[in-house]
Amino acid sequence: MAKVEDFSARPALGVGLKVTAILLFTFMSAIIKATADEVPPGEAVFFRSFFAIPVILIWLAQRGQLAYGLKAKNPMVHVWRGLFGTTAMGLTFAGLGLLPLPEVTAIGFAAPIFTVILAAVLLGEQIRLVRVTAVALGLVGVMIILWPRFSDIGTMEQTATIGALLVLMATMMRSLVQIHLRQMVQSEHTAAIVFYFSVTASLLALLTLPFGWVVPSWETAALLALAGLIGGVAQILVTSSYRFGTVSMLAPYDYTSMLFAIVIGYFFFSELPTMVMLAGALLVIAAGALVIWRESQLGMDRSKARSVTDPKA
């Protein structure tokens, strides 16, 4: 019988953990972007996943959940979660090498919108007026963000168009991960889901080895290992945050990643978001916040599923 996970209402702690996790994830993305010219996405996924494993194992041991983390009731659901999540991560990392960090972040905000659509298609969830409005608003926002990239087709900026499409596909895959996790948390312990994702992602990333892996410089290898450690810590903080606050309270803090991405993008990559991109991002954020609010009104607590998925999948 799975151990019941503790939950206590300490909202300030929950918010602090969540915002810190988002900041760390943004730093992790910046590291991946900084190494993208030298290291292919599949190799970056391996470093990100493999070096998170020791952090997760230490965390599970400290919580007395190591046994649960190593016990999978249904191994195949972890394989599928790994396949979906690893694909989303690889596409995101590929997009980071082609797009500004704030733009990648803005497109990623569409994940809750695609989750609503997939929930209706795959799970038969009813979508009424409020969520239909949110979906429409979010899709308009996504099109505003992407439109300048579509207009670049056939120009020197075509690589940015490819990057935008890769990140959009990654966002759709992350939504599929969220749907899959809703089913997984019914039978699988959170510890097992967190641990086996890093394991399966590491193994799946190795399959890309014949497609152009390189021997990175020591500096690059150290940065990639750091990205994995940061990603592991951030995942733990996200998971822990939902022990102290509800999904409706914590989920909106995902959007602090835009502020972090703008600041980090400016200081490290000399990137500034365009007004068009910001306008589209605001629409997508508004739509996502509306989805979260409506789900809280309907009593649809997604905290267990959200706690084992991260902004970079």
Q: Among all chains, which residue has been given the structure tokens 């890309």?
A: 208
| Whether 281 contacts 110, CB under 8 Å | no
Tens of pLDDT, residue by residue over 94-109, are 999 999 999 999 999 9
Tens of pLDDT, residue by residue over 18-70, are 999 999 999 999 999 999 999 999 999 999 999 999 999 999 999 888 887 88
45 lies in some domain? yes
Give the domain extent around 81.
Answer: 11-307
5 lies in some domain? no
Tell me how far apart the alpha carbons of residues 175 and 115 are, in angstroms, rounded to a whole number. 5
Q: Is the pTM of this model over 0.85?
A: yes
Tell me how far apart the alpha carbons of residues 46 and 275 are, in angstroms, rounded to a whole number. 35
313 lies in some domain? no
* pLDDT of 1 over the 50 cut: no
The pLDDT assigned to 161 comes to 87
Q: Residue 309: pLDDT band by 50, 70, 90 thresholds?
A: low
Number of domains the chain contains: 1
Q: Residue 310: pLDDT band by 50, 70, 90 thresholds?
A: low
* Residue 176: strand, helix, or coil: helix
2 lies in some domain? no
Tens of pLDDT, residue by residue over 119-129, are 888 888 887 88
161 lies in some domain? yes
Specify the higher pLDDT residue, 308 or 49.
49
The pLDDT assigned to 132 comes to 87
The pLDDT assigned to 4 comes to 44
Specify the higher pLDDT residue, 80 or 153.
80
Q: Residue 305: pLDDT band by 50, 70, 90 thresholds?
A: confident
123 lies in some domain? yes
Once rounded to an integer, what is the mean pLDDT over residues 220-224?
97
1 lies in some domain? no
Q: Residue 3: pLDDT band by 50, 70, 90 thresholds?
A: very low
Q: Which residues contact 286 (CB under 8 A, 6 or more apart)?
A: 137, 141
Q: Is 222 exposed, middle or buried (0-12, 13-18, 19+ CB in 10 A)?
A: exposed
Q: Residue 152: pLDDT band by 50, 70, 90 thresholds?
A: low
The pLDDT assigned to 79 comes to 94
* pLDDT of 230 over the 80 cut: yes
- Amino acid code (one letter) for 82: G
Tell me how far apart the alpha carbons of residues 172 and 118 are, in angstroms, rounded to a whole number. 9
Tell me how far apart the alpha carbons of residues 55 and 230 are, in angstroms, rounded to a whole number. 9
Query: What share of the chain in percent tops pLDDT 70?
Result: 91
The pLDDT assigned to 150 comes to 76
Tens of pLDDT, residue by residue over 186-200, are 888 888 898 999 999
3 lies in some domain? no
The pLDDT assigned to 277 comes to 93
The pLDDT assigned to 127 comes to 79
The mean predicted confidence, pLDDT, of the chain is 88
Q: 270: which DSSP letter?
A: -
